[in-house]
């Protein structure tokens, strides 16, 4: 713990808007950077004296006309200026003042929606112009090849290692009915449909049960129309409930990955009716193969609202890297073992 304290730097976020909150969350999540957020400093009258992140409230203070006094009272923590949409105008006074006595300032522009991974920056002599060069790695043939090779070798290895588990699960599902595997029509890359395989977790006449439920239960109908899922789904068997909560029902998708319909990591596979919900982000979804796991699964799974799922799928496609796939796979193991947001 002492070594960790030595590495950490007390940090304040200048700003109290959405980008400031998102910046604080990012710094808190990546503890290896060494930033320990202690609070927020607003450029104008604060909307709230505190900002709640997770289970903790962080104070919001006003910088005032003499920000050096405020920072001196805090023993000169590291400063991160979080710009909201509209740019530097609101923060220009404080940026100029802080730049006089801080050797290093961090600035986080409001770039939500812009691909950040692999970005490089050009600056121009005698001009206060910064040009961001962004690229979508999934457009590059070599990136697609690397991702495909990773999927093939990864799915083959997992199919071999998990063969005993497949046999046990086959036996348990077989006891609830003759059909063991279930293939549901999903939309893949470039709009191609495919059968997404799972261990059957529902009763054999699941469609009839669903239609009767939606006809007679308005709350269930609203939930289905909103999420395309039911938290308390009467169609799920006892074994199926266990499979879903442990995500073991999705193991047959390794065959989808090996075939090339899916990827180990990618956007959430959706049915045709859901594509309309993606709106202008449909193009991003169709650029990649759906994944057995993905960014939304390691960000709360079914506890994440639908709009956030769409945003996370789009972010993944725009910022793809092989390293991000590896990180998501490791995080998936932790999420599955913790059964976070699974139903």
Radius of gyration from C-alpha coordinates of the chain: 24
The pLDDT confidence band at residue 301, using thresholds 50, 70 and 90, is low
Question: Considering the chain, what percentage of its residues have pLDDT values greater than 90?
Answer: 25
Please compute the mean of the pLDDT values over residues 156-168 and round it to a whole number.
94
Q: What is the pLDDT of residue 3?
A: 43
Least confident range from 81-95, 134-148, 252-266: namely 81-95
The mean pLDDT value of the chain amounts to 83
More confident residue, 308 or 328: 328
Please compute the mean of the pLDDT values over residues 92-102 and round it to a whole number.
79
Tokens found for residue 77: 């923590």
Cα separation of 322 and 142, whole Å?
A: 11
Q: What is the pLDDT of residue 2?
A: 40
* Structural domain boundaries in the chain: 2-112, 139-201+236-338
Which string of DSSP letters, residue by residue, matches 225-286? HHHS--TT-TTB-HHHHHHHHHTGGGTTHHHHHHHTS-EEE-SPPB-GGGHHHHGGGHHHHH
Topology of domain 2-112 in CATH is Rossmann fold (3.40.50)
């Amino acid at each position: 713990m002492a070594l960790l304290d030595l590495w950490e730097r007390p940090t304040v976020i200048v700003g109290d808007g959405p980008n400031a909150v998102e910046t604080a969350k990012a710094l808190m999540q990546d503890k290896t950077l060494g930033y320990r957020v202690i609070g927020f400093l607003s450029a104008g009258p604060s909307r709230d004296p505190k900002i709640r992140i997770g289970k903790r409230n962080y104070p919001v203070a006003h910088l005032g006309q003499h920000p050096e006094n405020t920072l001196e009272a805090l023993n000169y923590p590291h400063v991160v200026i979080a710009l909201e949409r509209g740019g530097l105008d609101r923060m220009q006074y404080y940026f100029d003042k802080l730049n006089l006595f801080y050797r290093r300032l961090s600035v986080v522009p409001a770039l939500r929606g812009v691909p950040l991974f692999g970005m490089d920056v050009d600056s121009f002599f005698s001009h206060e112009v910064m040009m961001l060069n962004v690229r979508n790695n999934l457009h590059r043939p070599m990136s697609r090849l690397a991702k495909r090779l990773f999927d093939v070798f990864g799915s083959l290895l997992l199919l071999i290692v998990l063969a005993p588990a497949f046999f046990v699960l086959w036996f348990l599902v077989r006891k609830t009915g003759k059909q063991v595997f279930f293939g549901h029509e999903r939309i893949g890359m470039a709009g191609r449909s495919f059968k997404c395989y799972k261990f059957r977790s529902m009763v054999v006449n699941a469609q009839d049960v669903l239609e009767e439920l939606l006809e007679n239960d308005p709350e269930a109908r609203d939930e289905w129309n909103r999420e395309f899922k039911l938290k308390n789904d009467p169609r799920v068997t006892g074994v199926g409930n266990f499979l879903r909560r442990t995500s073991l029902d999705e193991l047959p998708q390794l065959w989808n990955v090996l075939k090339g319909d899916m990827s180990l990591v990618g956007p959430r596979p959706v049915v045709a009716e859901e594509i309309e919900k993606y709106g202008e982000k449909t193009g991003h979804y169709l650029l990649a193969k759906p994944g057995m796991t993905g960014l939304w699964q390691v960000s709360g799974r079914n506890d994440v609202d639908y709009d956030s799922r769409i945003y996370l799928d789009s972010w993944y496609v725009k910022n793809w890297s092989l390293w991000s796939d590896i990180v998501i796979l490791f995080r998936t193991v932790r999420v599955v073992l913790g059964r976070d947001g699974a139903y």
